[in-house]
Chains A and B, each alone.
Chain A
Amino acid sequence: MNPNLNLWLIPILPLAGAAINGFLGKKSSRRAVTTIALFFSGAAFAWALWVALRFSSLSLPYQEYLAHWIRSDSFSADFAFYLDQLSLVMLLVVTGVGFLIHIYSVGYMWDDPSYYRFFSYLNLFMFFMLTLVLANNYLVMFIGWEGVGLASYLLIGFWFTKDSAASAGKKAFIVNRIGDFGFLIALFLLIKHFGSLNFEQVFQGIAPLGVETAGAGLLTAIGILLMVGACGKSAQIPLYVWLPDAMEGPTPVSALIHAATMVTAGVYMVSRSHTIFERAPTALTVVAIIGTLTAFFAATIGIAQTDIKKVLAYSTISQLGYMFMACGVGAFSAGIFHLMTHAFFKGLLFLGAGSVLHACGGEQDMRKMGGLKSFIPWTFLTMGIATLAIAGIPPLAGFWSKDEILWKAYQVSWVYWAIGVVTAFLTSFYMFRLLFMTFFGEYRGASVEAHGSHGHDPHGHDADGHGGPHESPMVMLVPLMILALLSLVGGFVGWGHHFEHFLAPVFGSVEAAEVASHGTELLLMGVSVALAFLGAWLAYVLYCSRPELPQRIAASLGGLYQTVVHKYYIDELYGALFVKPLIDGSTRILWQDVDRKVIDAAVNDAGDGARHVSDEARHMQSGNIRSYAGWIAVGSAVVIAFMIWMAVGR
Chain B
Amino acid sequence: MVPSYVPLSYYLMLGGFLFACGVVGFLIKRNIITIFMSIELMLNGVNLSFVAFAAHWHALAGQVFVFFVMVVAAAEAAVGLAIIIAVYRTRETLNVDQVNLLKL
Contact = CB atoms under 8 A, between A and B. Distances in A.
Interface of A: 623-626, 629-630, 633
B96 A623 contact: no
A626 B96 contact: yes
A630 B104 contact: no
B27 A629 contact: yes
Given A623-B104, A624-B103, A629-B27, 13 more contacts: A623-B100, A623-B102, A623-B103, A624-B97, A625-B96, A626-B26, A626-B27, A626-B96, A629-B23, A629-B26, A630-B27, A633-B23, A633-B27
16 contacts: A623-B100, A623-B102, A623-B103, A623-B104, A624-B97, A624-B103, A625-B96, A626-B26, A626-B27, A626-B96, A629-B23, A629-B26, A629-B27, A630-B27, A633-B23, A633-B27
Interface centre among A626, A629, A630, A633 (most CB of B within 10 A): A626
A624 B23 CA distance: 15
B34 to A, nearest CB: 12
Contacts of A626: 26-27, 96
A219 to B, nearest CB: 80
Contacts of B23: 629, 633
Nearest to B26: A629
B19 to A, nearest CB: 10
Interface string B88-104: 00000000110010111
A638 to B, nearest CB: 14
Q: Which 7 A-B pairs have the closest CB atoms?
A: A623-B103, A633-B23, A630-B27, A626-B27, A629-B26, A629-B27, A623-B104
Contacts, number: 16
Interface range on chain B (Cβ under 8 Å from partner): under 10
Contacts of A624: 97, 103
Interface in B59-104: 96-97, 100, 102-104
A237 to B, nearest CB: 76
Give the interface SS of chain B, mostly helix, strand, loop or mixed.
Answer: helix
Nearest to B35: A626
A120 to B, nearest CB: 65
Nearest to A625: B96
A633 B97 CA distance: 20
Contacts of A623: 100, 102-104
A79 to B, nearest CB: 69
A620 to B, nearest CB: 14
A72 B96 CA distance: 78
B47 to A, nearest CB: 18
Contacts of B102: 623
A624 B28 CA distance: 12
B13 to A, nearest CB: 14
A635 to B, nearest CB: 12
B36 to A, nearest CB: 13
Nearest to B103: A623
A643 to B, nearest CB: 14
A87 to B, nearest CB: 81
Contacts of B104: 623
Contacts of B96: 625-626
A391 B100 CA distance: 102
Contacts of B103: 623-624
Contacts of A629: 23, 26-27
Nearest to B29: A626
Interface in B1-39: 23, 26-27
Contacts of B27: 626, 629-630, 633
Contacts of B97: 624
A58 to B, nearest CB: 89
A633 B23 CA distance: 8
Nearest to A637: B23
A633 B38 CA distance: 14
A626 B102 CA distance: 15
A630 B26 CA distance: 9
Nearest to A626: B27
Nearest to A633: B23
A625 B26 CA distance: 10
